[in-house]
């Protein structure tokens, strides 16, 4: 190790002589060495962390929607992310055991090792009892079924002395018993009485309505919900919940009431694009 010589000390300035005196002190010298070692170690650790975490570099979070838990784990691993399931719900019509929602949302920019919190669709739904709706009007039957946690499915019509009233209730093609237990959200198909001859109903205007209200209006008009299609703007669960109808088929005539035969299907197209909705 370099040591100051007498010649150097003699020719040195006051500041240098002070440093040499400090360096010549055994305890001061070891303290300086210790502090230097700690500082270098901290610098090395900081550099390593910057490299390991790709300091300052972010990437768009992938979309985990509709993936199974196993697929979500594989996608997270491939993107150096972590996932944690924080809740489960049951939504009829969505794949069981699939991702319903994530936080942060897709496309949010994150760094490596970020934890993504997932809400999953439950593998099974709770059971509810089937109510009796035979003899009720379609509107009354619909309200009763929905109050029980079920949905109105396909409407079919048959000649009967009580047109407009429910004359049969089916589940998956069979007569369903009153009090029978079905999964929450199951669809009950209804047979509605109609008078002899053709029976027509007014086609409702659905533009600008959210999906639940559009479906409700279709059913209450004695029509069936046909194709439900989202456009490219609907990418997440939140988008699908906020989407509104921008087109329907058949379309409502601008100058007169549009009539359809009862039981006809109505297709609806949804978007979150404000331009398409004319907002």
pLDDT score, position 14: 65
The answer to whether residues 97 and 145 belong to one domain is no
Domain that holds residue 81: 59-121
What is the spatial distance between Cα 155 and Cα 265, in angstroms, rounded to a whole number? 10
Residue 224 lies in a domain: yes
What is the token pair recorded at 188?
A: 């009950």
Residue 145 lies in a domain: yes
- Could you tell me the pTM of the whole model? 0.65
The answer to whether residues 65 and 42 belong to one domain is no
Residue 108 lies in a domain: yes
Residue 86 lies in a domain: yes
pLDDT score, position 5: 52
The answer to whether residues 180 and 208 belong to one domain is no
The answer to whether residues 268 and 250 belong to one domain is yes
What is the spatial distance between Cα 210 and Cα 216, in angstroms, rounded to a whole number? 10
Per residue in 220-259, pLDDT tens? 999 999 999 999 999 877 888 899 999 999 999 887 789 9
Domain boundary among 197, 222, 251: 197
The answer to whether residues 205 and 248 belong to one domain is yes
Query: Tokens 């972010």 appear where?
Result: 58
Query: Tokens 């409702």 appear where?
Result: 204
Domain boundary among 153, 180, 197: 197
pLDDT score, position 15: 63
The answer to whether residues 213 and 178 belong to one domain is no
The answer to whether residues 205 and 278 belong to one domain is yes
Domain boundary among 121, 151, 172: 121
The answer to whether residues 27 and 88 belong to one domain is no
What is the spatial distance between Cα 177 and Cα 171, in angstroms, rounded to a whole number? 9
Q: Are strands 200-202 and 259-261 parallel, antiparallel or unpaired?
A: antiparallel
Residue 1 lies in a domain: no
What is the spatial distance between Cα 57 and Cα 4, in angstroms, rounded to a whole number? 48
Q: How many helices (H) and strands (E) does the chain have?
A: 8, 16
Residue 186 lies in a domain: yes
Residue 229 lies in a domain: yes
Q: Which long-range contacts (CB under 8 A, 24 or more apart) does 227-231 make?
A: 227/265, 227/267, 227/268, 228/267, 228/268, 228/270, 229/267, 229/268, 229/269, 229/270, 230/269, 230/270, 230/271, 231/269, 231/270, 231/271, 231/273, 231/276
The answer to whether residues 262 and 193 belong to one domain is no
pLDDT score, position 1: 46
Residue 37 lies in a domain: yes
CATH code, domain carrying 142:
3.30.10.20
User: Structural domain tally of the chain?
Assistant: 4
pLDDT score, position 199: 86
According to DSSP H, which parts of the chain are helical? 6-11, 14-24, 26-52, 69-78, 138-147, 211-220, 237-242, 274-277
What is the spatial distance between Cα 109 and Cα 203, in angstroms, rounded to a whole number? 45
Give every residue of the chain whose pLDDT is below 70, as ranges. 1-24, 26-29, 49-56
The answer to whether residues 37 and 112 belong to one domain is no
The answer to whether residues 39 and 90 belong to one domain is no
């Amino acid at each position: 190790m370099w040591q100051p010589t007498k010649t150097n000390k003699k020719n040195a300035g006051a500041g240098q002589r002070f440093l040499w005196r400090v360096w010549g002190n055994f305890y001061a010298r070891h303290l300086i060495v210790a502090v230097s070692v700690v500082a270098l170690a901290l610098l090395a650790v900081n550099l390593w962390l910057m490299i390991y975490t790709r300091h300052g570099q972010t990437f768009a979070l992938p979309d985990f929607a509709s993936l199974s838990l196993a697929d979500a784990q594989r996608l997270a691993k491939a993107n150096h992310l972590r996932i944690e399931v924080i809740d489960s719900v049951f939504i009829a019509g969505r794949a069981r055991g699939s991702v319903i929602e994530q936080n942060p949302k897709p496309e949010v920019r994150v760094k490596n090792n970020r934890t993504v919190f997932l809400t999953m669709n439950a593998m099974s739904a709770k059971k509810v009892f089937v109510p009796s709706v035979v003899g009720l009007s379609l509107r009354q039957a619909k309200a009763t079924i929905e109050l029980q946690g079920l949905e109105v499915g396909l409407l079919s019509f048959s000649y009967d002395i009580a047109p407009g009233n429910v004359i049969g209730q089916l589940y998956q093609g069979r007569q369903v018993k009153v009090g029978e237990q079905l999964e929450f959200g199951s669809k009950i198909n209804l047979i509605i009485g109609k008078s002899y001859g053709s029976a027509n109903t007014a086609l409702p205007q659905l533009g600008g309505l959210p999906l639940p209200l559009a479906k409700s209006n279709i059913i209450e008009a004695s029509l069936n919900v046909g194709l439900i299609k989202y456009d490219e703007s609907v990418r997440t669960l939140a988008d699908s919940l906020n989407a509104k109808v921008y087109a329907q088929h058949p379309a409502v005539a601008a100058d007169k009431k549009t009539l359809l035969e009862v039981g006809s299907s109505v297709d609806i197209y949804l978007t979150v694009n404000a331009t398409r909705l004319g907002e």
